């Protein structure tokens, strides 16, 4: 894995390269990032750069013996640790190393749900157990086979629980030329004793432009679809890829048209929309409702006078602005969001989509056309 293969994160890449050039590599680093931001490929590329035999100014060479082994994740001085489902045949992370390598080599952007699907999870809970901690201590006590620096990349140390205390001494005083890279998504769920012994490297979520560019380059989406999916994914490339696998059309145009039908009390059109939406399939229906929630939250920012915080693309922003100025009020937007969130909840639980979308459509008429808010909802203004 080379830095040039990783989407975005230019500032972080420069920061990591600079630590190597200035010989100030912290022995224990915590890569803290939201899901789908590329922390795993960044960690691998960083380790590869450190051990590259002919490193360049900004990246590893990709051709030396060390890089070739890193590319296949088979370097003897590169170790991984991650949550797994312990059983009689799976006692440590090494027992599912082949599954891990195949997943990372196939696509280094993944989350716990994707990893779980690669394993026999049954009804077990994933964790990094005490046996795995002891195995880490054992592996890192050996001398390096080839590289100058041994590297352990631990994905999701949040799953360590109290077993992680067994690693404290090793993390604080590791053997010479040993690098720990912990990749976490939630700082609050990591043991404070481990947190205090690491240097935090914050990795931001990807920008909308970076996700849009990736979708346009790697899939057959139109520009409008790529922009919509990027907005919906909110910097999460895993989510963006999942959305790109769907077949739904322009979300912003469809959603705003739905709102206009409600404002115009066009019941026949709403019935036709309901019939069409019922054919989309559950995942597309969920994505559409999720888009609507995010879109209306941006409208709430406009209504609150915080236009500079709105993340909508220009054309969609202009439509949202007109909608907010002439149709919606803040209480109405909040009420519709509530209806969409309830609909999303019921779609996940296999509600009849035709009945569900018709009900939400009629709620839109009540809220937008007749300005009738759901019973019990109160709005207090100063």
**What's the average model confidence in pLDDT over 11-27?**
91
Beta strands 199-202 and 28-32 are parallel
pLDDT band for position 123 (50/70/90)?
low
Pick from 44, 8, 81, 16: nearest CA to 236: 8
pLDDT > 70 fraction of the chain, expressed in percent and rounded: 96
Query: In angstroms, rounded to a whole number, what is the distance separating the alpha carbons of residues 85 and 163?
Result: 15
User: What band does 374 get if pLDDT is binned at 50, 70 and 90?
Assistant: confident
- The contacts of residue 88 (CB under 8 Å, 6+ apart) are none
Ranges 33-42, 162-171, 224-233, most confident: 33-42
- The predicted pLDDT at position 296 comes to 93
Q: Which domains does the chain have, with CATH numbers?
A: 3-204 (3.40.50.300), 248-381 (1.20.272)
Express each pLDDT in 242-296 by its tens digit: 777 754 446 778 898 999 999 999 999 999 999 999 988 787 788 789 889 988 9
Question: pTM for the complete prediction?
Answer: 0.70
- Does residue 381 surpass a pLDDT of 70? no
* Cα(323)–Cα(332) distance, integer angstroms: 12
Instruction: Give the ranges where 234-279 is alpha helix by DSSP (H).
Output: 237-244, 251-263, 267-277
Q: Average of pLDDT values for 93-103?
A: 92
Q: Point out which residues pair with 81 in neighbouring strands.
A: 154
Tell me the H-state helices in the chain: 10-21, 39-51, 65-71, 97-106, 112-117, 130-141, 168-172, 192-195, 208-218, 223-233, 237-244, 251-263, 267-277, 282-303, 314-326, 330-348, 353-364
């Amino acid at each position: 894995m080379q830095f040039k293969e990783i989407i975005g994160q230019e500032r972080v890449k420069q920061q990591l390269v600079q630590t190597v050039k200035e010989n100030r590599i912290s022995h224990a680093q915590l890569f803290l990032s939201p899901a789908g931001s590329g922390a795993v490929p960044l960690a691998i590329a960083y380790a590869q750069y450190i051990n590259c035999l002919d490193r360049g100014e900004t990246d590893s060479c990709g051709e030396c013996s060390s890089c070739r082994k890193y590319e296949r994740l088979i370097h003897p001085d590169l170790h991984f640790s991650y949550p797994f489902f312990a059983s009689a045949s799976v006692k440590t992370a090494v027992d599912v190393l082949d599954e891990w390598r195949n997943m990372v080599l196939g696509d280094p952007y993944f989350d716990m749900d994707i990893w779980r699907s690669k394993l026999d999870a049954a009804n077990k809970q994933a964790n990094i157990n005490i046996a795995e901690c002891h195995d880490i201590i054992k592996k890192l006590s050996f001398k390096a086979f080839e590289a100058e620096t041994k590297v352990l990349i631990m994905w999701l140390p949040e799953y360590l629980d109290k077993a992680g205390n067994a690693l404290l001494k090793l993390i604080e005083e590791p053997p010479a030329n040993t690098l720990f890279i912990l990749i976490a998504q939630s700082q609050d769920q990591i043991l404070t004793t481990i947190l205090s012994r690491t240097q935090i490297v914050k990795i931001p979520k990807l920008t909308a432009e970076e996700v849009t560019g990736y979708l346009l380059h790697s899939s057959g989406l139109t520009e409008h679809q790529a922009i919509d999916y990027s907005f919906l994914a909110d910097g999460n490339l895993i989510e963006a890829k999942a959305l790109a696998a769907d077949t739904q059309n322009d979300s912003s145009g469809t959603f705003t048209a739905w709102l206009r039908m409600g404002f115009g009390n066009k019941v026949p059109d709403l019935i036709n929309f309901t019939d069409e939406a019922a054919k989309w399939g559950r995942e597309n229906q969920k994505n559409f409702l999720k888009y609507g929630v995010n879109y209306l939250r941006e409208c709430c920012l406009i209504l609150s006078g915080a236009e500079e915080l709105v993340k909508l693309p220009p054309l969609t922003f202009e439509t949202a602005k007109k909608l907010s100025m002439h149709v919606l009020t803040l209480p109405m937007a909040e009420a519709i969001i509530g209806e969409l969130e309830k609909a999303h909840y019921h779609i996940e639980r296999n509600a009849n989509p035709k009945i569900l979308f018709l009900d939400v459509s009629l709620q839109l008429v009540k809220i937008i056309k007749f300005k009738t808010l759901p019973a019990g909802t109160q709005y207090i203004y100063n």
